[in-house]
């Protein structure tokens, strides 16, 4: 059984832009791409009808992801966080996404410089309980993405994310892992995937320099072998910060090109990922 092979549209454009994406669909479909990820930076800007028509035209799945804006503190003012997420949930439901992925619990680039306090963990769990309930009202799942310590201090590893989910008790929260963050934070790909396995629902495959897979320092063979060992069946989506919206470029510390030739992210990166996955017994697309 094949895993759905996805592409975050940052590979092509800094925002969801059908006019820029559609001309590349023949090439992407030939590479086995069956899912596109929409960066849901400003939910009100998404024309959900046009997005759904686009997905139907190309027989492709859509999923959306986001991080919370800097103005929102879900621990101190959880209602503000819920008010921000609700339009995002509405977009996800209207485009046919199975859920909302990303850093749904925090602001990228916002840290205290210390380990999370018990109060912060308690507050995060309370917020996610409410957010999961709101997502369920839209028949959606809610993803939480562990990120590296420089982008958030709240959830950094698969184990930390699994502990949060167990504590909330919500049955519609999934872990969204990212190999870029795992490369920084996990002891190994094996330990990270094994800790997250009971809740793992979405995976970003991203090179250590956020560029072209196979042209950085990430150990892709170890990554794919570890993924195969947990028999993961969910989507596998290439995320490269090829084109990044200005609203989050600073939070991600993206100030230089991640690829010398931007087209290589798709033209070289996608075939590389399919090949290295196949060597581990994983069929992408």
Say what the pLDDT of residue 41 is. Answer: 83
Say what the pLDDT of residue 84 is. Answer: 96
Among 246, 229, 159, 239, which residue's Cα sits nearest to residue 207?
A: 239
Say what the pLDDT of residue 256 is. Answer: 61
**Exposed/middle/buried for residue 256 (C-beta within 10 Å: 0-12, 13-18, 19+):** exposed
Say what the pLDDT of residue 253 is. Answer: 58
Q: Measured between alpha carbons, how far is 266 from 86 in angstroms, rounded to an integer?
A: 32
pTM of the model: 0.95
The domain made up of 5-279 has a fold known as TIM Barrel (3.20.20)
Say what the pLDDT of residue 241 is. Answer: 76
Q: Are 132 and 125 in contact (CB under 8 A)?
A: no
Q: Measured between alpha carbons, how far is 12 from 143 in angstroms, rounded to an integer?
A: 23
Parse the chain into domains and list their residue ranges. Answer: 5-279
Beta bridge partners of 36: 7, 62
Length of the chain in terms of residues written: 285
229: Cβ contacts below 8 Å, ≥ 6 apart: 190, 193, 194
Say what the pLDDT of residue 249 is. Answer: 55
Q: Are 219 and 185 in contact (CB under 8 A)?
A: no
- Render each residue's pLDDT in the chain as its tens digit; 285 residues: 899 999 999 999 889 999 999 999 999 999 999 999 999 988 999 999 999 999 999 999 999 999 999 999 999 999 999 999 999 999 999 999 999 999 999 999 999 999 999 999 999 999 999 999 999 999 999 999 999 999 999 999 999 999 999 999 999 999 999 999 999 999 999 999 999 999 999 999 999 999 999 999 999 999 999 999 999 999 999 999 766 666 665 556 555 656 588 899 999 999 999 999 999 999 999
């Amino acid at each position: 059984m094949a895993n759905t092979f996805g592409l975050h549209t940052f590979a092509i454009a800094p925002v969801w832009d059908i006019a820029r994406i559609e001309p590349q669909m023949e090439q992407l479909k030939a590479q086995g791409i069956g899912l596109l990820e929409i960066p849901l930076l400003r939910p009100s800007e998404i024309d959900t009808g046009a997005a759904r028509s686009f997905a139907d035209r190309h027989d492709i799945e859509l999923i959306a992801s986001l991080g919370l804006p800097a103005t929102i503190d879900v621990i101190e003012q959880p209602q503000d966080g819920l008010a921000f997420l609700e339009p995002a949930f509405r977009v996800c439901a209207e485009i046919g996404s199975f859920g909302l992925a990303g850093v749904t619990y925090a602001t990228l680039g916002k840290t205290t410089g210390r380990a999370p306090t018990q109060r912060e963990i308690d507050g995060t769990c309370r917020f996610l309980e409410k957010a999961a309930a709101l997502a369920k009202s839209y028949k959606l799942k809610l993803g939480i993405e562990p990120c590296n310590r420089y982008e958030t201090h709240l959830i950094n590893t698969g184990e930390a994310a699994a502990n949060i989910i167990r504590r909330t008790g919500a049955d519609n929260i999934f872990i969204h892992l990212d190999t870029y963050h795992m490369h920084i934070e996990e002891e190994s790909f094996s330990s990270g995937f094994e800790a997250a396995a009971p809740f793992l629902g979405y995976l970003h495959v991203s090179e250590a320099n956020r560029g072209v897979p196979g042209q950085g320092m990430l150990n892709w063979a170890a990554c794919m072998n570890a993924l195969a060992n947990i028999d993961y069946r969910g989507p596998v989506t290439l995320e490269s910060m090829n084109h990044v919206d200005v609203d989050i470029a600073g939070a991600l510390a993206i100030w230089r090109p991640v690829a010398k030739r931007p087209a290589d992210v798709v033209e070289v990166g996608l075939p590389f990922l399919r090949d290295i996955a196949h060597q581990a017994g994983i069929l992408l697309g």
